[in-house]
Structure 1
Amino acid sequence: LVWLPEKLHPTCANKLLKIIEEPPRNTVILMVSELPDLVLGTILSRAQRINVRGIHPEDIAASMISQFNLTPEDAKHVAHLANGSYLKAVEAISLGEENKFYLEQFKGMMRNSWARNVRGMKDMADVLASIGRERQKNFLAYCQHLIRENFMYRFQSPELNYMNMDEAGFAVKFAPFINERNVIDIMDELAKAERHVAQNVNAKMVFFDLSLRLTVLIKR
């Protein structure tokens, strides 16, 4: 089983070509991809592509009601968040430890920037610098997701939002601060910070600088 073959380093992928083309006897190689168009063409040409469609929202909702005793209204909301994925539906019921951590850090970052709490910014930069580069990139991607969702929340169209209940609870107070005047620039700053982390720039500097820039943007 090869999970996310689109993320294989080209050197590794090329070394797998011969095995994929002529696998050992009684061997089946399954490659599970979320972005099949990014898989190397040389690998795609040696594989049989099978598209797996998402689970219908009504089926997910029915499962949430029977398996987790959710109310029909909550089950419908969870099915919407799942976007065809049963695993995402289960995650939406109870926020995982990783997402809880990211959400709390996001709240802290935005509150520190709004209050211009420099000490809080420095403390948070220390915490985020200690979690490792991959988790730092995941956190910044999560921040971009929440900024987008909080901007869309202003339109009062639930079908456009993909936030769980904890995130939506924070959005009630936070969403008014994300508007047409600042949303693009905030997203750009978060994306730039993610690039800098990937390039191995000092994480404390990246997150402290990001917080300082947000102090101006969040009050536009």
Structure 2
Amino acid sequence: MQFSEIIGQEETKQMLLRAVQTNHLAHALLFDGPEGSANLALALAMAQYVNCEDKQPQDACGRCASCIKIQKLVHPDLHMVFPVANLAKGKNSEAYLTDWRKFLIDQPYRTLPNWLETMGADNKQGNISAEEARNILQKLSLKAYEGAYKIMLIWLPELMNITSANALLKVLEEPPAQTLFLLVTNQPDKLLITILSRTQRVAVRAFTDEEVATYLRQQLNLDETTARRLAYLADGNLAEALQLSRNDTASTDQHTWFAEWMRTCYRQDLISLIKQADQFDGFSKEKQKGLLEYSIRLYRDLFLWQQGAAELLRLPDNEMAFVKNFSKILTINHIERIVHDLNEATYHLERNARAKMIMLDMSLTFSRLIRV
């Protein structure tokens, strides 16, 4: 990955280039950006640039042996750690490197659900285990083979358990010589404060609509109208825009399920609510979380509509219809309570509470609120 392959982000690219060229490169960089941003792409471009054998003022050369190996993610001094699920294949990144390379080389604007689906673990939650932490320490004890730097790229370090996070902290406090840590996060608030204090933050903004549309036109040959419409709906999330461009039905399916759930709550149809709770219980963990996140987003849009901020909404027709219809039924207090309960449900779901009971409890509460 070269900087030139990344749409926009010129201010961040220049900051990274200056750090290398002026010998002010910190030993640990934290690429902090929202899901679907260029944080992982920028980290990969940085990994290629620092070990490039013929650095150019604005980019890696893309031709030397080091560049070619990093582009294929096979450079012996590039070590990568990422969340995995507890499957028979293994519990650490090494067991999934072949899948990971293929996943990432295809395109670097990826999400955790994308990766878990690729692993065949979309009904599980990914994490970075204590065993992974031991592997990190072992890898960093070795000298660099070919490059100027040993590079440790960690994708989503917020998914480290406490043991692995403490192990990372220890090595960040006493980093081996000529080692560069590239941490790529979507949720820095979930990292240990002590880890944050030992890294230099690289703030990566979301893409603009124009940048997303440009990428879709250039990479997928979409027409101007389609590219702009998808960019508008994705709201700066390039991973989401790519998902939409593949005519994926996930968003439509989510709305269909959500709309039926809300209609059933409104009818106060207990038998149907129990059936829906059973159906929800049978979904994968990531699909359950995705439905709750979708519900939260739509209720927040409903809140904005009721506050007279319709110009901030980016909604397809089916979602706008829901917002307009339910704005006649729900008060601000109702919406705040519903969003609170949805967030609580997400919290308990992540801690392995029974999905059926979570959904049924919410449904009964929402039935009372909607019909008050």
**TM-score in terms of structure 2 length:** 0.50
User: Relative to 1, partners in 2 of residues 1:91 and 1:52: Cα closer, same or farther, differing over 3 Å?
Assistant: same
More helix by share: 1
Give, in angstroms, the shift of residue 136 of structure 1. 2.6
Name the one with the larger strand percent: 2
Residue 29 of structure 1: SS of its match in structure 2?
Answer: strand
Deviation sequence 1:86-131 (CA, Å, 0-9, x none):
2233335566444444322211210111112222111111111112
| Aligned with residue 116 of structure 1, among 253, 263, 268 | 268
Please state whether the residue corresponding to 2:200 is helix, strand or coil.
Answer: coil
Q: Find out whether 1:22 has 2:175 as its counterpart.
A: yes
Contact 1:64–1:70 (CA<8 Å) still a contact in 2?
Answer: no
Q: Which residue of 1 aligns with 2:223?
A: 69
Task: Call closer, same or farther: CA 1:32–1:186 in 2, change over 3 Å.
Answer: same
Q: Give the match for residue 117 of structure 2.
A: none
Output the CA distance in 2 between the equivalents of 1:169 and 1:64: 28
Between the aligned partners of 1:94 and 1:86, the Cα distance in structure 2 is: 13
In the other structure, the counterpart of 2:258 is 106
Counterpart CA distance in 1 for 2:361 and 2:320 is: 27
Residue in structure 1 matched with residue 26 of structure 2 by the alignment? none
Matched position secondary structure for 1:54 = coil
Q: What are the superposed Cα offsets for residues 138-186 of structure 1, whole Å, 9 maximum, x if unpaired?
A: 4223211111112323456443214345533543444433332521222
Aligned to 1:4: 156
Q: Does 1:91 align with 2:251?
A: no
User: What is the number of equivalent residue pairs in this alignment?
Assistant: 217
Task: For structure 2, list consecutive stretches of 5 or more residues without a partner in the other structure.
Answer: 1-152
Map 1:166-181 to 2 at 5 A: 166-181=318-333
Q: Deviation of residue 51 (structure 1)?
A: 2.0
Q: Does 1:33 align with 2:185?
A: yes
Structure 1 residues not aligned, in runs of 5+: none
**1-side partners of 2:332 and 2:208: how far apart?**
34
Deviation at 1:217, TM superposition (A): 0.9
Q: Is the 8 A contact 1:92 1:164 kept in 2?
A: no
Relative distance call for 1:55 and 1:204 in structure 2 (3 A) is closer
Q: Does structure 1 residue 185 correspond to structure 2 residue 305?
A: no
Give the alignment's Cα RMSD to 1 decimal. Answer: 3.1
Distance 1:185 1:49 in 2: 35
CA positional deviation for 1:59 = 2.8
Paired AA for residue 164 in structure 2: C
Q: TM-score, structure 1 length as denominator?
A: 0.78
- Determine the C-alpha separation between the residues in 2 that align with 1:5 and 1:188: 27
Amino acid at match of 2:289: K
Partner of 1:215: 367
The more displaced of 138-147 and 45-54 is 45-54
Q: Percent sequence identity over matched residues?
A: 31
Cα gap change, 1:148/1:92 in structure 2, threshold over 3 Å: closer, same or farther?
farther
Which is higher, the Rg of structure 1 or of structure 2?
Answer: 2
Change in 2 beyond 3 A, CA 1:153/1:132: same
* Residues 130, 175 of structure 1: alpha-carbon distance in 2 compared, 3 angstrom cutoff: same
Q: Deviations over 1:25-58 (max 9, x none)?
A: 7x64321112334422333344333222333333
Counterpart-to-counterpart distance in 1, 2:251 and 2:292: 12
